[in-house]
Amino acid sequence: MTAPSFENAKEDDDIEDPVDRMLKQTGCMELHYKVQECIAETQDWRKCQEHVQKFRECMEEYQQKKIRKS
């Protein structure tokens, strides 16, 4: 078995995660990261409800704008 080359690793890094792509479109990516950071720090999502609520509101606003455009 051979180790993956640096070139292959670079190609993998260039592939964008579909979730990241979706979050960029919504404009809520930073809020998503704040939720993740809070959960990582506290190890308890229940302690992160302020961040969760802000993220939820951002996503709902995005959905409403999307519906209005249709």
What local confidence, expressed as pLDDT, does residue 54 receive?
98
What local confidence, expressed as pLDDT, does residue 35 receive?
97
Rounded Cα gap, residues 61 and 68, in angstroms:
11
What local confidence, expressed as pLDDT, does residue 69 receive?
84
Domain ranges of the chain: 19-69
What local confidence, expressed as pLDDT, does residue 1 receive?
47
Give the phi and the psi of residue 3 in degrees, each rounded to 5: -75, 145
Tell me the average confidence (pLDDT) per consecutive run of 10 residues in the chain, 70 residues long. Answer: 48 75 94 97 97 98 90
